[in-house]
Structure formats: structure tokens, C-alpha cells
Amino acid sequence: MTVRGLAPAEAGGQRGVPVSEVASLPAPEVLRRMDSSEDGLDEGEAARRLAVAGPNAVRTHHARAGAVLLRQLRSPLLVLLAGTALVSFFLGEQTDAVVIGTILVASVGLSFVNEYRAERATAQLHAQISHRVTVLRGGVPVRVDVVSVVPGDVVRLVRGEVVPADVRLLEATGLQCDEGVLTGESVPVNKDTAAVDPGAALGDLTCCALMGTVVRRGNGVGVVVGTGGHTEFGRVAAQLGDRQPETEFQAGLRRFSGLLLRVAITLMTVIVVANVVLQRPLVQSLLFALAIAVGITPQLLPAVVSTSLAIGSRDLARKKVLVKRLVCIEDLGDMDILVTDKTGTLTEGHISLTAALDPAGHDAADVLALGRLAGDAPVDGTPFDDPLEQAMWVSPLAPRGDDPPRIAVAPFDHDRQLSSALVRGPDGIPLLVVKGAPETVLARCVGVPAGAHGTLENLFAAGGRVIAVATRPAPDLREVTPSDESGLSLAGYLVFLDQPKQGAAESLERLAQLGVTVKVCTGDNALVAQKVCDELGLPVSGTLTGSDLARLDEDGLVAAAQATTIFARVSPEQKAMVMRVLRRRGRGVGFLGDGVNDALALHGADIGISVDTAVDVAKDAADVILLEKDLGVLADGITEGRGIFANTIKYVLMGTSSNFGNMFSAAAASGILSFLPMLPSQILLNNLLYDSSQLAIPTDRVDPEQLRAPSHWDIGLIRRFMLFFGPISSLFDFLTFAIMLGPFHAGPSLFRAGWFVESLATQTLIIFAIRTRRPMLRSRPSAALMVAAGTVVLVGAWIPLSPLAGLLGFASPPATFYAMLAGLVLAYLALVELAKRLFYAEFDTARPPQPTVRPHRRLQRRASRFSVGGRLPS
């Protein structure tokens, strides 16, 4: 295929070329090959190329009804049961086959409707989120959605951003990229524009920036040579499938399903063999065994999880928390360490200038005049990005009159912790003005007055945020470089105030009750951060500065990071490093930040959290956006995530124990009775009604003590719970058998009706005991759960009395049976309450499970930003 008006080679360039193929070519040659220029493409050409190359995406998030339905039908047991029912239809058992088929369709339909609704909620959530990148269109910088980037686009790369595509660099200024997501290397790679040797390895393509990697330092400009699946990142992501990232929660579901499948196959084999030995009809025996196997598998588990997450996302939105992916809710619940910045989170974020002082601590308005010169100048009344600069220009202390002209400027960066300006002094001689972190400025001064350090310590101890200002004559300078910032004379200090936030102390207390350890990561002075923490009641176990971190080796970093509360005067790279070492212990680490200097740490955390007022690069890097910069709002999100896990575990524990007990009873009874204890259609109807009641579990309340720490999948606990409580269910089944065969002299139809009602009542109502570790009557369930469970029990009791009884093979039980049933249910719940205390008394002494770190998780998470609502090109 060729594009009209272009030679085949040029058309291929519009669809993209391998980055390794252009890395050995000079930059001008790459531009020619991509049929582009340093000014990029115009809008019309970009649109044409998007139609040729397709979206810049490696994931799709549109809701696909066919795929959801296929997942419902993919169960081998379900397919086998449907096939066996079809065979029985042609062998003369038409009524049973039709009933079984109807129940199977209803079960599949119920699961499909709920899971599809949740998938549509996921798609709508993705549609609201866009990740944007700066490209040149006709030489003009514009922000476009990352999925609209096309081969030939010229893109700008800045620190903290994810590289949007495979890019051949045209300009690079101190550029470093973290390529660990592709290569596994933790050391960032230096980038330049020089071509590399042909055949260079992926990690040696120093003239290229690769899609999905993160800009750690510097900035650059490059031409896009590959997008979507035609990138190195896209090819790796494709090997992991087209689905969204698998969380620890989802991995636990998969392991749990494997456990149930093994139990189901074992029971099915025993039942078939036993019935063949007893010379019962093979087809009916096989149908019975398959119904038993289907009954033990919680078919609605995916629907319950998806519904929980969808409900959770809506609840969080009402609480002013927006999640970019539904699985982020689980990540929020897993978090047990929160690293946060100070300004705007622990403090009000409204910074005001309170004083301009000389080194001795006396008022000195000229220090403010000098400080303003060394920063950004106002433009048309536009607010400053830096709140400190804004405070200097709007302060009542600000001098009146025109400022002297600036000859050159060296803007602030976090490595120097300084900004400088070369200005023309009153006598016409250029003057170098430097301002920045006091420790850094003082280290570059000569002849510091004796009282200057004492003044600074007093300001820090009072909780003030301090900037030092220094100067020196510079008659020979025309430009400013970092090497010129030396030999300075200290002019004085600028003091700013940012009050502790109202309500922050209560929010910190809530987080402590949730088992979340809060750490503070700030570019401010350690004493100032300590003062704020003391005023808010946050215990401080240790403090490290950026220079302290630089002196530690890897092992020392891991130990120190775990024990430290305050990280002060840290660079963006050091913030990201703190995230990395905290995650090494398997903890769930979240980071809350809103500035350009926070983007790297947001990428490095398990769950990145930003706010709606944050800079674009921070919001783009975050997984969760808070509509209010309030730790209380974040505590709501953590609570929601843990509540979803707790409710899902209720379904799992209840289903496995009750289903296992009932199916074990059926297996045992089938080997003793002269008839099947329940027909296959009756088992499936029982299971359908039971599952229907459990769709209300996502609405249930969760006890506060279940939210005090993250919970993780523990297959050992589930297995023990099943084996501990399953026999209790079987005990009451056997009591029902004895009563039906004894006092009631039940034949097959009456026996099946009695056990149908009893098994449905016990396995449905046990949710009220299992849903809490408290005594059942001291924990109030949700109204929806009570209505759902009560309705299903009443429907189950009515069916043997209804006109459907004959069709389903039931005989109507006498009134005395229902009185007996009420007594059995009450005794059953009482025994479960007693057993629950014994079980948890032993279980609580065991070590809680720890999360596992799985390979590819971060790659999958990164891939989710390159997601499109439609189909991907093959």
C-alpha cells in the first residue's frame, strides 16, 4: 500500500520505522526519511498520517459485549454441562434438558449484564482521561492527546513526562531517560543527538528516546519515528496481551479459581464413579456431577468484583476522588505508606511574605528588591507558577518604582537550588544577584557576618520558609553560568509563612487509624518541616536531607528510608529514589504531589496521587486525581479501596464454605440414597437464586476494624475456611436428610424439595454471620443485602408450593417442615457464630500475608496511558 503522491519508502515512513533503523542515521537524514521538518507537520498532514498509521496506542478500553459474553461461556464445566443437557434432550429427557438450559441461560445472562455494565463504566472512565504531549504543528507548539501523535511529529520532552513514542532526538540539553520499564536498568541513560553505530543494542540507543520511558532530567526535541505497536514498548506490551494491568487482587482471583477447579474436578470424578458403580443412568449421573461442579464455582465472582469497582468509582467521584483506572481503587486500598509534599497538603498553600531581613535580623526592604530581580518578572498580570515568586510581587512590603534592567538570567533548578540574574546597578556596573536555599547560598558567600547563622536558625525554628539573597559586582559578565555563582556577599533573608492546614491533624489521625504511615518529602528546610509536623501531631522518627541521602549506599538507603519520617531539601530524582527503596520491602507506597518536581516520584510510586490544580505533568503522571488537596479526601479513597476488597472476600468465604458443604453433602447422599438427592436442574436453580442474592454484597457496610490495614489474598486462609465451615453446613444437611427420611417419610420429590429449601436458606443467610468478625447482631448489614437475601430465601421457600413445583420435580412440604426449617436455620447460625470465634482466634495469631511483587506490573500500568476507545490496527 502507498500513500497518494509519495514513493513507497516515504509512505512507509508515515507508518513508522524501527527506531534501531534510524539511530545510526544523522538527524537531518531522519527528518527527510520521515518526510518532516524541524517545524513538524501541519494539522492536515498529521490527520492524514493518523488515518494511515492508526492511533498511538497499545491498549483498547472500549466495552465489547462479545468478549464479555465469551468470558461467561469460557468455563469448561459450563460448556460440558450444556452439551450433556443437549444429549439428554435427544435421549428422551426433554423436560429436564429444557429446564437446565433455561437456568443456564439465566445464569449466564445475569453474569453478562453485570460484568458488561462494569466494563462500560471502565470505558467511560478512560474516555474522561487524556494524556497530553507538546508537539510542533507548523512550528507552533500545541498540546495534543498522546494517542494522536503520528510518525513525523516533532515532540518536546521535559522532565517528568513519559516519552510518547519512539523518537530520534534533534536537540538534547542535559537529557536523561529512565528506561527501566524496557531494559530493567535502574540507572538513567544520558541522551544526545549523535548517531550510534549500526546494530547497537536497545540500551545503547543514546540518540533516541523510547516510548513509555520517563524523562528523568533535562529536556529535548525529537522527531517521532514509530507509534503504537510499531515501537519497542508496543512490541513488549503486545506480548502481555490486550487487557488492562493485572493487580495483585486479580492475580489472587486467578489463583483462587484454580483451587476451586481442582476441588470441583475431584468431586465430579467421585460422584460419577459412585453412580456408575450403583448402576444409575450414565447421562443423569453425569449431569448431576456437572451440576455439583458448577455449584461449587462462584460463577458471579467476576461480576461481583467488577460491580464493586464500578460502584466504588462512583462513590469516590462523589467524595471528590477521580481514578484513571478502576483497578487504581484496589491500589489505594493496598497503600500503607503515603509520602506527601508539605505545601498545600500539611499547610494551607497560601504563602505570604512576612519579612525581609538583613543578616542580623533587622528589617531591610532592599533585600526584597534584590530577591525580585533574581526571579521571574511578571507578564501581563499572569500569576506565577512559583508561589514564592507570587508572594514577593504582591506583598505590601514590595518596593515601588521601576526595577533596574536585567542583562541575563539563570533560572532556578533543583540541582543548584538557586536562581540568578545579572542586572545593571545604580552606578552602571553589572551586579550579580543570587537567591535560593539558605544553606546553598551561604556556602557560596565569603565574609558571612557573625550573626547570620544564628538569625537563620531562629527563623527556621519559628517555622518560617526562608530564602537567602546574595550579590557581588560582576563588571566582566555578559551571561550567567553556575560557575559564576560564587564569591558572594550575603544581603539578607526573605521570610515566608504558610500556616498548617486546618483539619490536617484530623486527617493524619484518620490515616493512622487506617494503618497508613505518613512521610514528608519536601524541598524545604528540615527544621521548618519538623515544626509543621509537630504542630499537626505527626510523630517524627527521623530526618534525612538530600545531602544525607547522597552519602548512603543502596542497603543504607533501604534501611534509612523505612525509619525516616522527613526527607528535606531533596531533588526530584531523590524523591523518585525514595519511592523505589520504599517499594523494595513489598509495601504499598503512594505519593502525593502537584509540582513539576513531583512527576518522577509520581511515576515511581505504586499509586501516584495529584490534585486538580496541579501542573499538567504531575496530573499526567498520577493515577488518582483529588478535586481537593486534602488528606481527608485521600483517606476516603483508601477506605473505599479496602471496603471493596473486604466485600469481595465476604462473597468468596461464604461461597466456598457453603457451596463446598452443600456439594459434599450431595456427593455423600448420592452414594447412600437409592435416588439422586437433588436433580441437576434443581442444583442449578439453587445456585442461580443464591448467586442473585450475592449481587448486593458490593453495597454492604464494612466494619471499621476491617479497614485498619491493607488486606491481601491468602489462599491458605480461604482453603482453611472452606474446610472448617463446610462440614458445619454438611452437618445440618445431614440433619435435614434424617428428618425428611424419618418423621416425614419423604419420597424423592419431597426429599428434594426439603433439601432445596434448607440448603438455599442456610447458604444465603450465612452471609450475615460471615460478613463480620463481630457477633452477628452487632454489625449492621446494608439494607440492599438484607432485602436481597430475604427475598431469595422467601422465593426458595415458595417454589415447592408454586405451580412450578411439578415441572421442577418438587412435592409441596407440609407446614410443619417450615417450622422445623426455622429452628434448623437458627441453630445453624448460632453454631457458625461459635465456630467463627474459634477460627479467628487461631487465625489472628498467624503472620498476615504480604503482597507479592510481580514482573511486568509497571510495564502494564505504563501501557494503560496509551489506550484508545476503538479497535487497534493489527
Q: Which residues are catalytic?
A: 341
C-alpha to C-alpha distance for 95 and 97, rounded to whole angstroms? 5
Torsion of CA 511, 513, 515, 518, to 10 degrees: 30
C-alpha cell at 587: 509495601
Cα separation values, 807 from 105, 208, 685, 810, Å? 18, 71, 13, 8
Residue 218 three-state SS: strand
Amino acid (one-letter) located at 623? D
Distance of CA 274 to the CA centre of its chain: 49
C-alpha cell at 551: 552519602
C-alpha to C-alpha distance for 424 and 373, rounded to whole angstroms? 11
Evaluate whether 446 touches 487 at the Cβ level (below 8 Å). Answer: yes
Residue 13 three-state SS: helix
List phi, psi (to 5°) of 548.
-65, -45
Half-sphere exposure of 550 (CA within 13 A, CB side): 9
β partners of residue 432: 422, 472
Residue 57 three-state SS: coil
Helices 815-843 and 715-741: angle between axes, nearest 10 degrees: 160
Helices 631-672 and 282-296: angle between axes, nearest 10 degrees: 160
Which uninterrupted H or E stretch holds 624?
Answer: strand 624-626
The burial class, CB within 10 Å (0-12 / 13-18 / 19+), for 621 is buried
Instruction: Return the closest-CA partner of residue 523 out of 569, 483, 558, 477.
Output: 569
C-alpha cell at 123: 470505558
- When computed from its CA atoms, the radius of gyration of the chain, rounded to whole angstroms, is 34
- Contact residues for 276 (Cβ-Cβ < 8 A; gap 6+): 282, 285
For 429-439, give one letter per residue: b (16+ CB within 10 A) or e.
ebbbbbbbbbe
- Contact residues for 800 (Cβ-Cβ < 8 A; gap 6+): 753, 756, 757, 810, 811, 812, 813
Sign of CA dihedral 849, 853, 857, 861: positive
Evaluate whether 270 touches 666 at the Cβ level (below 8 Å). Answer: no
Cβ neighbour number for residue 778 with a 10 Å cutoff: 8
Cβ neighbour number for residue 843 with a 10 Å cutoff: 16
Q: What is the DSSP string of 376-415?
A: PPP-TTPPPSSHHHHHHHH-TTPPPSPPPPEEEEEEEETT
β partners of residue 158: 219
